[in-house]
Chain A
Amino acid sequence: DTAVSQTPKYLVTQMGNDKSIKCEQNLGHDTMYWYKQDSKKFLKIMFSYNNKELIINETVPNRFSPKSPDKAHLNLHINSLELGDSAVYFCASSQVIPGLAGLIYNEQFFGPGTRLTVL
């Protein structure tokens, strides 16, 4: 009954390869995110999708391409992997709630992370 799940948990690959990370949430949320946590534990948002539509793209290289086949899934594909891509990637989800002054984005629930190591 995991709320936000990611596969794989660990990913070790060579430079130049292409790899994908999958994320699924069973919370019924309509917004999903990808975050990158670097070796110093700093967390930064990469992408956000709302109802399968891309709404945040934080100056991430074109080699990173998110895909959301439906509201419950947000996958991350990375082309031509580089050493600097080594990090922990977290998926998250949240629910948008209509508020009096506009949309309210409720707290985000995070997956367990995928540790990517590029050799």
Chain B
Amino acid sequence: AQSVTQLGSHVSVSEGALVLLRCNYSSSVPPYLFWYVQYPNQGLQLLLKYTSAATLVKGINGFEAEFKKSETSFHLTKPSAHMSDAAEYFCAVSGRGAQKLVFGQGTRLTINP
């Protein structure tokens, strides 16, 4: 079974500041991990994914995430926030060979000018 916990339902940062969105997972099998972004009134867009290759994963829009097995974490970072990054971010996990995505509760990211 898999589960995901996103720490902080709402994160607020200033434009140009570091973005850090936290995700911890639980999985009884080696996991695949994903970050999705949802802009208002839109569907989910894949930011990046970890599928057992490099532990540091680079995604779109300058985001990256690091898989840390010892900490069961997959935190999302971006060095410098942009106003257009304001959105809801979802971390998700699936077991390898399993197709069901289990989502965290989401983190709303607000960017202050």
Binding site for B on A (CB under 8 A): 4, 31, 33, 40-45, 48, 50, 55-56, 58, 90, 92, 94, 96, 99, 101-105, 107-113
Contact = CB atoms under 8 A, between A and B. Distances in A.
Interface stretch (B18-26, B61-69, B70-78, B91-99): B91-99
Contacts of A99: 96-97
Given A107-B49, A108-B46, 20 more contacts: A40-B105, A41-B38, A41-B88, A41-B106, A42-B103, A42-B105, A43-B106, A44-B103, A45-B100, A45-B101, A48-B99, A55-B99, A56-B100, A99-B96, A101-B96, A101-B97, A105-B97, A108-B101, A111-B43, A113-B43
Interface of B: 34, 36, 38, 41-46, 49, 51, 88, 90, 94, 96-103, 105-106
Given A90-B44, A107-B46, A107-B49, A48 B100 contact: yes
Give the interface centre of A4, A41, A50, A94 by most chain B CB atoms within 10 Å: A41
Contacts of B103: 42-44
Contacts of A105: 94, 97-99
Contacts of B34: 107
Contacts of A50: 99
Given A31-B99, A101-B96, A113 B42 contact: yes
B63 to A, nearest CB: 15
A56 B99 contact: yes
A96 B94 CA distance: 14
B97 A104 contact: yes
Nearest to A4: B43
Given A40-B105, A43-B90, A105-B94, A94 B99 contact: yes
A33 B96 CA distance: 17
